[in-house]
Amino acid sequence: MIKKLYNKGIKFEKFILNDESKHKEIMLKFSDNSSIDEGLKNEIELLNIKTKILVFGELWCPDCTVNISALQILSKFNKKIEFRILPRNGFENDIKELTGLDEVKIPTIIVMNNTYKIKGQFIERPQEILELENEENQVKRIVNMKEYRNGLYIGETIKEIIEIIKRDL
């Protein structure tokens, strides 16, 4: 099933061609390499693991804008990392089956080896941001979410995806 879904998916370039709004511009801005430091860039380049990633997402979704951009950075710096994108709409049951969750959240990112064996998943936001959502200080929570939506936590998404990629099956 996962291989069929992956093969139905589209590449980043085609995904952003489907949109002429501000979301496309934001995603292109986020996916340039200026948002990550040299150490993280080197870590991406040194990964020697063929990886396939299937992501369910939509251009209008702020979390997708940030986190799909992170995937584009990963694939830009390491050709062994490939990803495809499918919309949420029409694939809700597949997402639930793949994640084991009752609720569908996007982006849902499924990380696999090159034979489509699932290594792990990333859902909606990096762990650091999910933890901040429970922050008692409302001002801090609002500021951090704004920073996240402005692409300042793309490195956190990349680090989490790298950790999944490195997992043994």
Which helix (DSSP H) or strand (DSSP E) does residue 161 occupy? helix 154-166
Tokens of 156: 């956190």
What is the per-residue pLDDT across 17-41, written as a single tens digit (0 to 9) for each? 866 677 778 888 888 866 788 999 9
Contact present, 59 and 15 (Cβ < 8 Å): yes
pLDDT the model gives residue 30? 83
Tokens of 71: 């995937």
Residue with tokens 């940030």: 66
What is the per-residue pLDDT across 56-72, written as a single tens digit (0 to 9) for each? 999 889 999 999 999 99
What is the per-residue pLDDT across 39-52, written as a single tens digit (0 to 9) for each? 999 999 999 999 99
Q: Is the pLDDT of residue 131 over 90?
A: no
pLDDT the model gives residue 34? 66
Which helix (DSSP H) or strand (DSSP E) does residue 12 occupy? helix 12-17
pLDDT the model gives residue 28? 80
What is the per-residue pLDDT across 96-126, written as a single tens digit (0 to 9) for each? 999 999 999 999 999 999 999 999 999 999 9
List, in order of start, the domains of the chain with CATH numbers. Answer: 2-166 (3.40.30.10)
Q: Is pLDDT larger for residue 133 or for residue 79?
A: 79
What is the per-residue pLDDT across 74-87, written as a single tens digit (0 to 9) for each? 999 999 999 999 99
